[in-house]
Amino acid sequence: MCKKTIYLTLTLSLLGPCLANAAGQGPIGWWKLDETSGTTAADSSPSGNHGAVMGGAQWTPGQIGGALQCDGVDDYVDLPISPLIGSLGDCTVAIWANWSGAGGDWQRIWDIGTGQTFNMFLTPNNGNTSALRFAITISSYNDEDQTTAAQALPTGWHHVAVTMDATNAIHELYIDGQSAATNTSARYFPRDLGQTTQHWLARSEYSADPYFNGGLDDFRIYDHVLTADEIAAVMAGKLGGGTAGDPSPADGATDVLRETNLSWAPGETAEMHDVYLGTVFEDVNAAEITNPLNVLVGQSQDANTYDPTERLELGQTYYWRVDEVNAAPDYTVFRGDVWSFTVEPYALPI
């Protein structure tokens, strides 16, 4: 049986790209928030835990591609990641945030748990010391592990990361790649939260707390502790594992020739490539091997190029995505970004 047949059999049997990522590779949860429309926040990691955008949050330009703008009233993202959280000891949680500075204390950049008893959260400005804080508890707010910076998160775009080292009982808080606070006697880690039910960006487990007022971009979860250099790479949009990059035509290109071939830089560990191409963004964004939506044009192919089987239509905007597939034995799938290009409006006579 050839490698492509093996991959197809495994993918169908698992009903989608939900294979676990090995520790030390890319993120096990990665919400780029680059969709630009709709109410789905796609998970670009192999976990495939796509989130739901709630409350009418607006898509907007971000720090890395697109972002979500939250109004501080009822906007948030709901993520289905309970099994993932329950598995984590050593881990890193990272995000770009553009806090407005308005809306009150105790807003949440993210909050994960089950109500007020079991939760962990990141707030740009706590109501006690008016500073950026990460906290986690398995009983109540009176018994939290707290890691608190010297001041509130500044307004404008800033990168915030939390590393949790269960082996050495350390929590560390980073702002823009620099250590801002360290807790060297940490007791609690995500796996201690049990079966979590609420996993939110921009919303608190405490109903009295305000929603986040500002922009959010590139939310990631790793199942290991990132170094300072690795956090700097995450800030730059790197360390994503095996995703495809450098599309040609470039994303957003216009006046593309009808005879153009598509190509991309393979992911670091990619062995095969699944290519999606169509004229409807929503279809290309949502399609999977088990639900191709008539836009899967190349499955388990070896080459990092694709030659459309039919001539591209004049003046038409196309959307395309490349999912990278690792080699045996895991066949991990890294979901790609959705890119676009527009074909030339007319062709010169030959």
pLDDT category at 84 given cuts 50, 70, 90 is very high
208-266 tens-digit pLDDT:
999 999 999 999 999 999 999 999 989 988 777 678 888 999 999 999 999 999 999 88
Q: Does the pLDDT value for residue 57 go beyond 80? A: yes
What mean pLDDT is predicted for residues 70-82? 98
Cα–Cα–Cα angle for 228, 173, 155, nearest 5°? 105
The domain covering 245-343 belongs, at the CATH homologous superfamily level, to Immunoglobulins (2.60.40.10)
- Which pLDDT belongs to residue 287? 95
- Which pLDDT belongs to residue 337? 87
The 3-state DSSP class for residue 212 equals coil
pLDDT category at 18 given cuts 50, 70, 90 is very low
Angstrom distance (rounded) from CA 79 to CA 130: 28
259-291 tens-digit pLDDT:
999 999 888 778 899 999 999 999 999 999 999
Please list, residue by residue across 249-274, b when 16 or more beta carbons sit within 10 angstroms of its beta carbon and e when fewer do.
beeeeeebeeebebbbebbbbbbbbb
Helical H runs in 190-346? 228-235, 281-286
Q: Give the CATH number of domain 26-235.
A: 2.60.120.200
112-156 tens-digit pLDDT:
999 999 999 999 999 989 999 999 999 989 999 999 999 999 999
Radius of gyration (C-alpha) of the chain in whole angstroms: 21
Picking from 326, 346, 105, 338, the residue whose alpha carbon sits closest to that of residue 212 is: 105
- Which pLDDT belongs to residue 3? 41
What mean pLDDT is predicted for residues 166-172? 97
Picking from 126, 119, 120, the residue whose alpha carbon sits closest to that of residue 153 is: 126
pLDDT category at 15 given cuts 50, 70, 90 is very low
Cα–Cα–Cα angle for 268, 95, 275, nearest 5°? 35
Q: What is the mean pLDDT of the chain?
A: 90
Q: Which residue spans of the chain are classified as CATH 2.60.40.10?
A: 245-343
- Which pLDDT belongs to residue 237? 84
Q: What share of the chain is helix, strand, coil (3-state, %, to 5)?
A: 10, 40, 50
Q: Which residue spans of the chain are classified as CATH 2.60.120.200?
A: 26-235
Question: pTM here?
Answer: 0.75
Instruction: Name the one residue in this structure whose structure tokens are 């999912």.
Output: 323
- Which pLDDT belongs to residue 25? 65
